[in-house]
């Protein structure tokens, strides 16, 4: 009677992206309205004059967040944000979200109120409606699933697959901060666990800790693109680290990339904290996740449009696939970039 699903191929052999591809290949969309299925930040559905853009994300306690140092209100806020960020990365405007939460009986009504306060705060800030979802119990832990729905305009959706040789690689803001914020929180957690009398020392760390606990989707950038008449040739949000996202664009577009270390935006706070943790700042930017900035490429003829947008960093150029994905360091060296980013299938 008992079903045995153990002792076979370990999921780690494929990794998260390999697994999704493995489980969903050979099933192309059949409905004419399904314009884009699995394989981008969001799916795209045709709906008369507009396109409906849909994205779904899960956040799992013990994998994606630690309630020791994550206030539930921030978690509710972030759960909405990660989903909105996916809609923005398609060059679409988020309109609605659904929120499903499974939680164990260690959570009280007040705890869920705090969580939903954050959910509503994010919805309000980004003018998005919470239109559905469910709450159910779980035997252990907190599981969150958010689906965001957005509206896009035909011909203006930015897929991962549109980058062309010669396109300029752009980034919307500083990277590595969210990862370093997480390192600070983890350090304080360890200190607290070994000596519960010691209060956490987060003074002066507001910026980095804030990048981790309360990220924002770059809806402002999407709105500026619209005003500037700019449509990126390809776009993706930076949730798993710059290297991983650049790999996605290169793979889907069939191109390579030349990245200038000097063009990758890293804040001074991040540089200093990285050094404190004995890490290389560029490694934090390449492999640290959760900054939720946008990585996009533009046709060189649009450079003038980007120049007048605030806070956009040009960081490199799309090259031939055969030339690979390379980092040109400040020291003048050229290194191949490896896709790292977060892997959630470690031996947790």
134 binds a copy of itself (CB under 8 A): yes
Of residues 333, 152, 337, 313, the one with CA closest to residue 249: 337
Judged by DSSP in three states, 53 sits in strand
CB 56 within 8 A of CB 79: no
* Measured distance CA(189)–CA(183) in Å, rounded: 10
Minimum distance, C-beta of residue 259 to a copy of itself, in the bound complex (Å): 26
190 binds a copy of itself (CB under 8 A): no
123 binds a copy of itself (CB under 8 A): yes
- In the complex with a copy of itself, the residue whose CB is nearer, 188 or 291, is 188
CB 243 within 8 A of CB 94: no
The per-residue DSSP string of 67-78 comes to TTT--HHHHHHH
195 binds a copy of itself (CB under 8 A): no
**Among 132, 262, 272, 275, contact with a copy of itself (rule: CB under 8 A):** 132
200 binds a copy of itself (CB under 8 A): yes
285 binds a copy of itself (CB under 8 A): no
Q: Residue 197: how many CB atoms within 10 A of its CB? A: 5
283 binds a copy of itself (CB under 8 A): no
Question: Pattern 10-39, binding to a copy of itself, x per CB under 8 A?
Answer: xx-xx-x--xx-xxx--x-xxx-xx-xxx-
- In the complex with a copy of itself, the residue whose CB is nearer, 131 or 303, is 131
* Measured distance CA(1)–CA(3) in Å, rounded: 6
Spacing of C-alpha 24 from chain mean position: 21
Minimum distance, C-beta of residue 300 to a copy of itself, in the bound complex (Å): 32
* Positions 139 through 158 that interact with a copy of itself (CB under 8 A): 139-141, 143, 145, 147, 149, 151
**Among 105, 194, 195, 333, contact with a copy of itself (rule: CB under 8 A):** 105
- In the complex with a copy of itself, the residue whose CB is nearer, 33 or 262, is 33
Give burial (CB, 10 Å; 0-12/13-18/19+) of 243.
buried
């Amino acid at each position: 009677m008992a079903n045995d699903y153990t002792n076979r191929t370990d999921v780690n052999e494929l990794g998260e992206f390999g697994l999704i591809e493995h489980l969903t290949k050979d099933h192309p969309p059949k409905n004419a309205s399904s314009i884009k299925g699995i394989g981008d930040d969001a799916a795209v559905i045709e709906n008369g004059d507009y396109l409906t853009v849909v994205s779904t994300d899960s956040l799992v306690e013990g994998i994606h967040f630690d309630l020791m140092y994550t206030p539930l209100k921030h978690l509710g806020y972030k759960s909405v944000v990660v989903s909105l960020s996916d809609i923005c990365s398609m060059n679409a405007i988020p309109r609605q979200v659904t929120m499903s939460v499974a939680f164990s009986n260690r959570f009280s009504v007040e705890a869920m109120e705090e969580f939903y306060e954050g959910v509503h705060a994010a919805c309000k800030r980004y003018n998005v409606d919470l239109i559905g979802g469910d709450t159910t119990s779980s035997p252990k832990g907190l599981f969150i699933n958010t689906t965001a729905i957005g509206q896009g305009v035909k011909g203006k959706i930015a897929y991962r697959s549109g980058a062309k040789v010669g396109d300029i690689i752009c980034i919307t803001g500083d990277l590595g901060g969210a990862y370093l914020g997480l390192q600070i929180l983890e350090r304080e957690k360890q200190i607290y666990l070994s000596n519960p009398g010691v209060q956490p020392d987060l003074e002066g760390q507001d910026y980095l800790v804030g990048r981790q606990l309360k990220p924002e989707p770059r809806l402002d950038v999407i709105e500026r693109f619209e005003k500037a008449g700019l449509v990126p040739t390809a776009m993706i949000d930076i949730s798993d680290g710059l290297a991983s996202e650049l790999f996605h664009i290169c793979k889907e577009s069939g191109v390579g990339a030349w990245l200038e270390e000097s063009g990758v935006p890293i804040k001074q706070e991040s540089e200093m904290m990285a050094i404190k943790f004995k890490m290389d700042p560029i490694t934090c930017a390449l492999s640290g996740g959760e900054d939720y900035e946008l990585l996009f490429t533009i046709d060189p003829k649009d450079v003038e449009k980007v120049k007048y947008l605030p806070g956009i960093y040009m960081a490199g150029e799309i090259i031939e696939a055969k030339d690979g994905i390379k980092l040109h360091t400040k020291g003048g060296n050229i290194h191949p970039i490896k896709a790292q980013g977060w892997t959630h299938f470690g031996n947790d």
